[in-house]
Amino acid sequence: MDRELVLKIQDLSEINDDLNETTVREEIINPLINALGYNSLKKNVMREYRLKKPDIIVGSKKQRNNYMPDYLMIAKNKEKWILEAKSMKCNIDEDKYFDQAFSYAINKEINATYFVICNGKQFILYSVSKRKKVFSFLLKELEKYEIYLKDFLSYETYGINEDILKDLGLYLKKTGYTEKDKFIFDLSVRLIDILDPDTIKIQTPVRFENKDFFATFIINSSLFSSAHRFFKDTLKYVKVKGKYPIAVPLYDNTLKITFICILSDQIKEAPKEFYIELEIIKFVNVELIIP
């Protein structure tokens, strides 16, 4: 995404608390959808799509929906997802907003795989089949989550298998790998998290044994700094700012890295999930591509 757009959306979300739904749509959601590759010229987004058969059963109740999904997106692979916009004053974690969006998503005319609820401050992505959150974040931290939006919702890449959310570390542990085993990965990275002066984290989708996973890689700052000048300069910049943790997005640049890693021996806990980190012990190749 364009850096100016990311910063603009972050600023709008952080300094405002009472934007109405119309303003949220115009100033935040519309630009965000366009940046993901959906626009009227491509005819891959429909606003306020009217359902022909709006009756739907949610739980044990049959409801009559006389409204329309705010946005219906059609990806390159023809799969669909919807987005419901709300004002900033709405608590979009409430069940009524989930029920409304879910009822649209499972309608036979749409049959979406994901649906989103956004109030200009919070962005929540749900899986239709699992009926639960895939991820949720505050838009004031958009630059940190931009990679997830692109991977899951962009016009070009929409349709990544939901199994990508399975943690690679847990999979390796369950299938018998130990801390003595070494793994080599060749990845393209778009976001780096600097947790503290000594620890760097990279979270990214990976493919292992012809399956998709999500992996968390940890690197010691000394090894990180010595691998490439870009890493060294980044650490210096962050140290001067003195702000931890901090996300370092690469925007339109691409960081290609090949490295060897080992499995950590500790299971860690994040909100609603467990994971095992992989520690990078050696960089084989590092290349920063600037278009």
What number of other Cβ atoms are within 10 A of residue 52's Cβ? Answer: 7
115-158 residue pLDDT tens: 999 999 999 999 888 788 888 889 998 988 887 788 789 998 78
d(CA 220, CA 103): 47
Confidence of residue 159 (pLDDT cuts 50, 70, 90): low
Residue of higher predicted confidence among 236 and 281: 281
- Return the pLDDT at 88: 97
Q: What is the mean pLDDT of the chain?
A: 85
- Return the pLDDT at 120: 96
Residue of higher predicted confidence among 242 and 59: 242
Q: Model pTM?
A: 0.59
d(CA 104, CA 111): 8
d(CA 155, CA 75): 5
Confidence of residue 273 (pLDDT cuts 50, 70, 90): low
d(CA 203, CA 90): 31
- Rounded mean pLDDT of 161-171? 69
What number of other Cβ atoms are within 10 A of residue 63's Cβ? Answer: 14
3-state SS class at 78: coil
Beta bridge partner(s), residue 289: 254
Residue of higher predicted confidence among 108 and 220: 220
